[in-house]
Amino acid sequence: MISEAAEKAGMPKGAIGIITVPTMQATEELMKSHYTRLILATGGPAMVKSAYSSGTPAIGVGAGNGPAYIDKSADIHLAVKRILDSKTFDNGTICASEQSIIVEKCMEEKVTAELKAQGAYMLNAEESDKLAHFILRPNGSMNPAIVGKSVEHIAKLAGLTNVPASSRVLVARECKVGHAAPYSREKLAPILAFYVEDSVEAVLEKCIEILHFEGSGHTFCMHANDEELVKRFSIRVPASRILINTPGALGGIGATTNLFPALTLGCGAVGGSSSSNNIGPLDVINIKRVAYGTKELEEIRQEAPSGSGCCNKGDYSEAMVDAIVKKIMQELI
C-alpha cells in the first residue's frame, strides 16, 4: 500500500522493500549489511542499542512512558477530556500517549469524579490485580495481546466481568514504579495508571522516577495554567517533548501542537538517542555543501579582538565569578 501511494507520487519503483518473514536475525543482517547506509530504529532499548552497535550510522528512538500531571490551576474537565481523547485515539498505540495520570491528594476526588463522568472505568484492587497479569509477558516485555485492543476486548481477556461496554479507558490506582509494578510501564492500550502524591514536589519527583525507569527523553504531559510551574517542571523533567494542555498522542506527533509532524520521536542523549527531534525527512538525508571563500587569513586576524577586550583576567574577580554561579544556580532551582 505504501509503495503504491509513493509510486503514484513519483517514487522510483522498488524503492521501498520489506522483510516478508521478520526475524531478529534478518534485522541484524540488514543493520550490518554494507548496502545499508542509515538505520532508523524505532523500539525498545534493546533495538536501539543493537542499531547503534551495528557499525552503521543510526538514529534510534526509544520507548515512551509519559506521565500526565493535572495541576490545581488546570481546567479539570478539559484536562481529563484531552487525556481520554489521547488514550482512546487508535486505542493508545501512539508512543506519546499518556501512560499514567498524577495528581496531588487535594485533587484526587475531583479528578476521579471527572474520569468516571467521561467514561473511564476505575478498577478496584481485585480487578487491578487481575489485569496486571495481562499487561506484561513472563519475560517482562509488553503483552502484544493487549496492544491496540479495545477496553471490551481487554476486559474479556482479563476476566473483568463488571466493566460496562461503554467504558473508554481502564484506570488502576498505583503507587510504585518498577518491574514489579506493571502499571508503571508503557502500555500501548487504553489502560492508565493513577498516582496520588502529597505535594507538587512529590508529583515532580514521581514523574522523574517514572521517566528514568522507562521513557527517558520521550514525552511528558502537563495540564496547568501556571507558567512558573510549567517552567519549573520543564527544567527538571527528563523528556524531549513537554506538552502543555494538549492530548499527549496528538500533541507529541504535532497534530495539536506546532511540533514537526512525525510518528518517530527522538529521545535525545538522556534516552540514548542521537536526536531529540520529531524525526522528519531532513534527519535522514545528507547535505552536500559547496562553500566559497569569503575572507583571507589577514582579514580574520584583523577582526580578532585585541588584548584590551572584556576577557582579560584582570577584568573580573573570584567574588564576581562566585556571584554569577550562585545566580545561575538559583535560576535552575
Show which residues are catalytic.
95
What cell does 315 get? 577584568
Question: Cα dihedral sign for 76, 82, 88, 91?
Answer: negative
Nearest partner of 225 among 245, 246, 210, 239, judged by Cα: 245
Q: Which residues contact 152 (CB under 8 A, 6 or more apart)?
A: 163, 165, 167
Burial string for 11-29 (b: 16+ CB within 10 Å, else e) reads eeeeeeeeeeeeeeeebee
Owner of C-alpha cell 488502576: 172
CA 34 vs. chain centroid, Å, equals 32
C-alpha distances in Å from residue 235, one per residue of 74, 136, 162, 229: 20, 32, 42, 10
First and final CA of the chain: distance in angstroms? 51
Residue 76 to residue 115: CA distance in whole angstroms:
10
